[in-house]
Amino acid sequence: MFKKILIANRGEIACRVAATARRLGIKTVAVYSEADANAKHVAVCDEAVLIGPAAAKESYLRGDKIIAVAKATGAQAIHPGYGFLSENAEFADACAEAGLVFIGPPASAMRAMGSKSAAKSLMEKAAVPLVPGYHGDNQDADFLNREADRIGYPVLLKASAGGGGKGMRVVDNSDAFKEALASCKREAISSFGDDKVLAEKYLQRPRHIEIQVFADTLGNCIYLFERDCSVQRRHQKVLEEAPAPNMTDERRAAMGEAAVAAAKAVGYVGAGTVEFIANQDGSFYFMEMNTRLQVEHPVTEMITGTDLVEWQLRVAAGEPLPKKQDELRIHGHAIEARIYAENPEKGFLPSIGTLRHLDTPDAVNFELGGIPGHPSGVRIDSGVREGDAISPFYDPMIAKLIVWGADRKQALARMSQALAQYQIVGLAANIAFLKRLVEGEAFATADLDTGLIERNHDALFPAAQPAAEGALALAAVALIEAEKDASAAQSGANAADPWGQALGWRMNNAYTRGLSFTDDYAAALPAKAYNVQITYRDADWLFNLPACAEAQPERLSLMSQQGTDFSIKLGDTAWHGSVRRDGDVFHVFTGGAHYALAYNDPMAHAGEAEADGGRLTAPMPGKVVAVLAEKGRQVKKGDALVIMEAMKMEHTISAPHDGLVEDVLYAVGDQVADGAPLLAFKAAA
């Protein structure tokens, strides 16, 4: 076994690999960019070396620098994690030439599977079922358009060298083909340096099921059952679970054997994932093979009691697979939710900022074998801590939340509970959306397909609801108690002077004050205002919402407080919650919900809705990749004006109204800052 390895990755990926290495007594070397100098993965490894600026192409994608660091630190092997260089055959070759073990498959296998079109040809020869499509080299736009017409719409365009949902477009008709092709190729060349695409029939209501395979250098190859990854947005996975619901033993064996055949066809070694698209009738087709460990591998670990990173290390060291096919069993059910810094209500736009408050549910550290018996059945894989920043340079994942249950029903209940306990302040996150998704009828009843989110859009994106009365009361109590504490700290020798303290004391009458809050979520725009009336009394308060005709003053009392955790009683109802103040915004976590209430700040989000034209702005830092409107052009509401690329995804800036483009302020290739005006726009009268 290795004594020291270098982990050529960052974030939760590097932390995950380091956890297993530490358990096995293997020393680890981290590499980091200037943006990651204080990152968690730097802290958890035994050594850490700076390799370049923030941009991945100047740091984490510099294989030459990484190999030099490995040699200088005495590492014997390099674990690429998943992403970055993990599927780069040239890097694997360079490791071998430098006398280092690449903890992954042979470069030949990566080359064979790295091109989706070439992989499909190989799979056809290996008798693995394929989706009808065109996987050839001819990239002429007119030719591809004719092929799409032949296949029949809808058609899925995919970057041949792609992965992670990048460079994919669904085309509904021939007229829309060339525009979608151009967009797909732009994203493909930006993400993978190769704009070759393939076209396939887009199946209606398919499921995305993948098989975890593992092979050693001694000719053994097995499958560790399946994962259902059907729940996706923008072709990127949101929830994953194992085993796949409603999977028969016969179908599981057929898919597993097909996956092993695919791996053997390319002389595979190590961990890999063979992805299938499956119809509701049980038929399935090869989609692609990811020649690396997958982000969602923990659900497989949870149901099989295996450590797949340990298996990677052992296989790379020349050892046989730890288990044979007949020794593997499925135990219980596991679900993984990807917690991202993003705003689902704004098209899943990535969010950047600082995690000013981060509180997670009780979870067990990564020690396989102990998970199923752990009282919480919860595991968290994360590469960030409270106080860390989510930057525009890398994927906006905050954590992977994984739960295990004796069956799917228990796993669902645990996931719902864990999401309710997850608290984030400082940037937008998808936690509330994930909770609606997990608790929604479609997912709860395993009515799964890759269009689940779109199919259940109204239920998953409900109209903004007014803040709960108890949430407003918790915010009011937190504010009043904070004022008391500040007043007591300042009063000093005058502590007995009632005039010098913020206790609401009055000589001849009760003191009634108004507190003004507004919703601080984009989903609530136009922002809803709440005017809360508080009347101070000797031992409690009277709480009222005067704007509500049916509202009556209710007794409000503080039952207990421990730091930011409050228990109050409003009328006859007890409310318990945590209140975190971030500037003038009170973040109230209660009843599994998160309310962001801006205190006396009605202008906090006046600029977000750009409803009347003016200057359309960049939603986040990024690069202009296309300008579709010139100065002086009349446009219609919804017309695409500028396309930006940020955090590996394209974002289209569209006209908010019919109007006139008065000026275009940036050109293709320009870098723009968050909030920078992109165009001067005048709405039609």
Three-state SS letters, 476-505: HHHHHHHHHHHHHHHHHHHCCCHHHCCCCC
**What is the distance between the alpha carbons of residues 303 and 38, in angstroms, rounded to a whole number?**
34
Residue 372 has a pLDDT of 44
Residue 549 has a pLDDT of 65
Please confirm, yes or no, whether 292 is among the known catalytic residues: yes
Local structure of residue 346 (DSSP, 8 states): G
Contact between 371 and 404 under an 8 Å Cβ cutoff? The reply is yes
Global pTM reads 0.81
Residue 114 has a pLDDT of 78
* SS3 annotation, 33-61: EHHHCCCHHHHHCCEEEEEECCCHHHCCC
Pick the CATH number of 132-201 from 1.20.120.1230, 3.30.1490.20, 3.30.420.10, 1.10.3720.10: 3.30.1490.20
pLDDT along the chain (685 residues), means of 10: 97 95 97 96 97 94 98 98 93 97 96 81 84 89 95 92 81 95 92 89 90 97 98 91 96 95 93 92 88 95 94 98 96 96 88 92 60 67 94 91 95 96 94 97 96 94 90 96 81 62 73 88 63 92 85 93 96 96 93 91 39 63 86 87 76 84 89 81 83
Q: Exactly one of 62, 169, 252, 292 is catalytic; name it.
A: 292
Residue partners of 443: CB distance under 8 A and separation at least 6: 231, 239, 437, 452
Rounded to 10 degrees, the C-alpha dihedral 253/244/446/453 comes to -120
Residue 500 has a pLDDT of 63
Residue 583 has a pLDDT of 86
Separation of CA 549 from chain center: 42
Residue 353 has a pLDDT of 87
The fold of 4-103 is Rossmann fold (3.40.50)
Residue 142 has a pLDDT of 96
**What is the distance between the alpha carbons of residues 82 and 73, in angstroms, rounded to a whole number?**
22
Considering the segment(s) 207-455 as one domain, its CATH architecture is 2-Layer Sandwich (3.30)
- Domains of the chain by residue range: 4-103, 132-201, 207-455, 469-599, 613-683
Residue 281 has a pLDDT of 83
Q: How far is CA 306 from CA 295, 331, 567, 612, in A?
A: 16, 11, 42, 57
Partners of 336 in beta bridges: 240, 402
Q: Label the pairing between strands 554-562 and 565-570.
A: antiparallel
Q: What are phi and psi of 343, to 5 degrees?
A: -115, 100
Say if residue 282 is exposed, middle or buried (CB neighbours under 10 Å; 0-12, 13-18, 19+). Answer: middle
Residue 523 has a pLDDT of 45
Kindly report the CATH class assigned to 469-599.
alpha beta
Kindly report the CATH class assigned to 613-683.
mainly beta
Local structure of residue 65 (DSSP, 8 states): H
**What is the distance between the alpha carbons of residues 611 and 640, in angstroms, rounded to a whole number?**
16
